[in-house]
Amino acid sequence: MSSRRQVFFTRAFYHGRARTWQNVLDVTTDSERTTILAVDDDPDILGMITLRLGKRGYEVLTAVDGEKALDIAQDRMPSLVVLDVMMPKMSGWEVARALRQNPATKGIKIVILTAIGEQINAMTSPLYQVDAHIDKPFDFTVLEETIDKLLEA
């Protein structure tokens, strides 16, 4: 297809969908999106978090264990990590400690999302310098509000 025909087809396609060129040009690229690392050994929870945050425009990276989470965080430098505590290979607390001890990653926001109990979360979170904790089962609205608040700070 010639470029002239292709441009016409593209214009017709977008016009037919009631889109303007401005809408087309406003598409956010991956480099402009905020990156969040979601870490949980439960694939159902990880999938739900990924889907929900992805729909809100975040680039969501995932890991199923602490070692992989630490590798991804050091390599990709996400703005925020949603981190389960009870995981194989390396606990969420160990990941949080390692992120805080590394000068390159110490500024990454950390949200602990776990079922270990509200009292334990409240006592342990300050020790590992996490920014927020949410107990499972959780409400996605609370998670989203917490993330928004931390990323705005």
List of domains in the chain: 1-27 (no CATH), 33-152 (3.40.50.2300)
- Report the alpha-carbon distance of residue 78 to residue 99 in Å, rounded: 11
pLDDT: which is higher, 127 or 109: 109
**More confident of the two residues 27 and 73:** 73
Query: Residue range 122-140: average pLDDT?
Result: 81
Q: Are 108 and 130 in contact (CB under 8 A)?
A: no
The whole-number pLDDT of residue 14 equals 39
Q: 58 φ, ψ to 5°?
A: -80, 150
- Return the minimum-mean-pLDDT range out of 57-61, 69-73, 99-103, 122-126: 122-126
**Closest alpha carbon to 139 in 60, 77, 48, 73:** 48
Reported pTM: 0.76
**Tokens 């999302």 sit on residue:** 113
- Hey, which residues does 38 pair with through a beta bridge? 62, 82
Instruction: Give yes or no for residue 10 having a pLDDT over 80.
Output: no
